[in-house]
Amino acid sequence: MKKTWLLTLFFLLTTKATADIVSIDLTVPELNVDPYHKPYVAVWIESPNRNGLETVAVWYEKDDWLKDLRQWWRKIGRNRTSAYDAVTGATRKPGNYIIRWDSKNKPAIAAGDYWLCFEAAREAGGRDFIRQKIELGHSEAQTFLINGDIELGQIKISIQP
């Protein structure tokens, strides 16, 4: 009994809460196609062994097509492993968008490595999925620059502890 309590205390002391501000500058690219529909986009956080943890953003119109964000749907959407209602929004036209996410008050997010995942799917179009390894609860700022294939453009990630 005492041992369990000590273990819990040890766990609490070593599991450092994080308070990182993750800023994502995401480009919805201009595509010269006809018909053009604005893409459904999901941004979320996975554990190193690829469990869906937190949804950062979901842009969509009709929930009938949420399944087409295949990875996000499988990892988080269909299980509701994290409530994402607060981070949903309408689909965006081509352009640059800033998404800010704060890891504070996210009990599932202890200091450590994570995957930041991006997925886009467009009606009568294609689909893109890319991910970037990030470290949360790290003492230094990090920046990453990644590129989608077709449906997602350049993505700048900056993490401020």
Partner 1 sequence: MKRTFKILGLSFIFLTQSAPLFAHGRYILPSHTQLSGEDLKQVTLVASISNDVFHPDKPLGNNGGGEVNSFLSNIFKTLKASVTLPNGTVNNTIEWQAFARQSSTDITIDKPGTYRVSLVQQPTRLVTFKKPDGTPSRFFGNQQTPPPGATNVVHHTTASRTETFITHNTPNRSALISVGSGLELVGETHPNDLFVGETAHFQLILDGKPLKDPTAVHITRDGTLHRNQRNTLERQADALGNFSVIFIKAGMYLLEVEHTRKGAKNSGIDFHHNTLYVTLEVFPE
Helix (H) or strand (E) holding 10: helix 2-14
Using rule CB under 8 A, residue 40 touches partner 1: no
**For partner 1, the closer CB: 22 or 152:** 152
Using rule CB under 8 A, residue 21 touches partner 1: no
Are the C-beta atoms of 82 and 106 separated by less than 8 Å? Answer: no
**For partner 1, the closer CB: 34 or 85:** 34
**For partner 1, the closer CB: 60 or 114:** 60
Residue from 1, 13, 32, 34 in contact with partner 1 (CB under 8 A): 34
Residue from 20, 46, 54, 128 in contact with partner 1 (CB under 8 A): 128
Give the three-state DSSP class for 80.
Answer: coil
Give the three-state DSSP class for 70.
Answer: helix
Give the number of other CB atoms < 10 A from CB of residue 157: 20
Using rule CB under 8 A, residue 35 touches partner 1: yes
Position 91: which residue type? T
